[in-house]
Structure 1
Amino acid sequence: MRTTSLLASAAAVTALLTLTACGGGANPTVGGIGSGADTGTGGATDGGAHEGTLENPTKNGGVNGNAPKDGTAFQKLPKAGTMAAAARFIGGFTDCRQVSADNGEDGPKSADAEFNKAGTVTETGYCGGQNRTTILLYKDAKAFQTAFKAEMAKKGNRGNPDSGIVVGQDFAMGSQDADSMSALLQPQAGLLMLNCHPDFRPPSGFRKEPALVKGCVLTDYYMDH
């Protein structure tokens, strides 16, 4: 099942991470994200073949390297440190075998420079073959969430209220494939979706944790429609 946008769709949310595909509904997309022209390293240097994986979760910060056992929902999210670590982690749950700074001829639109600056985005990567996945690294999670909320508000908070962008402590992902996004929200993955839509009302039993920005939540509920 595919989404019509990676994080902001035709009816909807943002010009951020826009990936178009057939079928599906409006998922907020993080700003047409990335043309390969993004600059920055997104963190420390690559720590080796297993950095940021479940086999070596703490190397150079790695996945959950700095996440406390007790803390807020945000503090328990995985932390990557580098694009390589983020891609390896995502690749453990969905197709992300090779990551590239090149979005390809049919890839997502170029990133919005204003959003990247406001959201402290340092690097953008693409993986997933036909069902493109976009990965963003950022330095300041609160600034990123603030920029995402502002982008949605700028678009009038239109679109799918049950969608958002999948986030860790220092990285985010969106995909043309709804199943890929859902896979990253499973308990074993440990990521959550940042949802800033004022009409978001998840069914009972799903998480709705405070985000770093008022008016946004972290949730494990996502529906493509």
Structure 2
Amino acid sequence: MARAGSVAELRKLVAPSVDCTRFSTDPDTVAIESIDYTPVVEGNALDWGVTGRALCGEPGGEQRAHHLNWLDTVGDMKKLQTRAKAAQQADLKDDGTLRRTASRLLVGENVAVESNDPAVRFGLYQQQFLYLNCAPGFSAPTGYRLERARVEGCVLTNYDPDNPVVGGN
């Protein structure tokens, strides 16, 4: 699984998949969400086990935000997955689907990337990131990776229900 020692290292690692031409670690910028992009980690990142956080993409301003992806270094992966599970299950509660604006959490050993772009996620699967899926009863189809998450009731997979690729990765 993917691993990086710092946000700068993570930025270099994900460069083939995530456009970080516009990059910021400024806390106010990193805290941005928009009508089209909602991060997984909300509020104080430390409460989620995140030790470093950055935003790649155009945060908006006079125009709408574009291509937002959040890069996280993680000091406590179990805490991150526990909080992400609660948020994901709250989102699924209403109609059994995640909001289209909700980013998906892809994790490595000590890093995570939050993205709602299927093309970005596909690239990250090639780089050994896995999606934290906490949908009750979820199982990946044959040919996809499926690993235990650090939290009960979730799995890590390279199967993307929003954009399945035949035969897995």
Establish whether TM, by shorter chain, passes 0.5.
yes
TM-superposed CA distance for 1:148, in Å, is: 1.1
- Counterpart code for 1:212: R
5+ residue gaps in structure 2? 59-65, 164-169
What residue is the counterpart of 2:110 in the other structure?
170
Please say if 1:190 is aligned against 2:124.
no
Q: Return the index of the structure with the highest Cα Rg.
A: 1
List per-residue Cα deviations over 1:1-37 (Å, max 9, x = no partner).
xxxxxxxxxxxxxxxxxxxxxxxxxxxxxxxxxxxxx
5+ residue gaps in structure 1? 1-76
Percent identity between matched residues is: 30
Q: How many residues align?
A: 145
More strand by share: 2
Please say if 1:180 is aligned against 2:109.
no
Report the secondary structure of 1:135's partner residue.
Answer: strand
TM-superposed CA distance for 1:168, in Å, is: 1.2
User: Please, what TM-score do these two structures have when normalized by structure 2?
Assistant: 0.71
Work out which of the residue numbers 102, 118, 123 in structure 1 matches 2:52: 123
TM-superposed CA distance for 1:156, in Å, is: 4.8
- How do 1:12-161 and structure 2 match up within 5 A? 77-101=1-25, 102-103=29-30, 112-113=42-43, 116-129=45-58, 130-157=66-93, 158-160=96-98
User: Please, what TM-score do these two structures have when normalized by structure 1?
Assistant: 0.55
TM-superposed CA distance for 1:173, in Å, is: 0.9
- Counterpart code for 2:69: T
TM-superposed CA distance for 1:142, in Å, is: 1.1
List per-residue Cα deviations over 1:151-192 (Å, max 9, x = no partner).
2233454324xx941111222112242201111012xx1111
- Counterpart code for 1:85: E
